[in-house]
Amino acid sequence: KNQVEQSPQSLIILEGKNCTLQCNYTVSPFSNLRWYKQDTGRGPVSLTIMTFSENTKSNGRYTATLDADTKQSSLHITASQLSDSASYICVVSAFYSNYQLIWGAGTKLIIKP
């Protein structure tokens, strides 16, 4: 069964600190993996997208890594800001499906001043 699992479920850190969010997936055949940021009460916004040949991709203070062998991804946030408070969702696309994305439940990140 295609699944995406994220950890931790929630995380609280102080402003200025770094953090890393984890994503494990069992989607096969794998096409690509993306990280979305969803502010409370808003639609998700894409941060990064990686295919199986890509190991790392950055978007400002966000850096995503992908290990296609172990089927794991991480999202590292550097020098966190209050505006980083949001849910971060890992989403995987299967190669045969042009329409359906397999969504993780997300990690709720709270940045405290």
Partner 1 sequence: SQTIHQWPATLVQPVGSPLSLECTVEGTSNPNLYWYRQAAGRGLQLLFYSVGIGQISSEVPQNLSASRPQDRQFILSSKKLLLSDSGFYLCAWGGFALTHNEQFFGPGTRLTVL
Cα separation, 68 vs 85, in Å, equals 28
Nearer Cβ to partner 1, position 28 or 51? 51
Rg (C-alpha) for the chain, rounded Å, is 14
Q: Where are the beta strands (DSSP E) in the chain?
A: 4-7, 10-14, 19-25, 30-38, 45-51, 56-59, 62-67, 72-77, 86-94, 101-103, 107-112
- The residue ranges that bind partner 1 (CB under 8 A) are 4, 31-32, 34, 41-46, 49, 51, 89, 93, 98-101, 103-106
- Nearest distance from residue 37's CB to partner 1, in Å? 11
Q: Which CB atom, from 77 or from 104, has the smaller least distance to partner 1?
A: 104
For residues 60 and 48, the answer to whether their CB atoms sit within 8 Å is: no
Q: Is the CB of 18 or the CB of 56 nearer to partner 1?
A: 56
Instruction: Give least dist CB 71 to partner 1, A.
Output: 18
Q: How far is the CB of 2 from partner 1 (least distance, A)?
A: 12
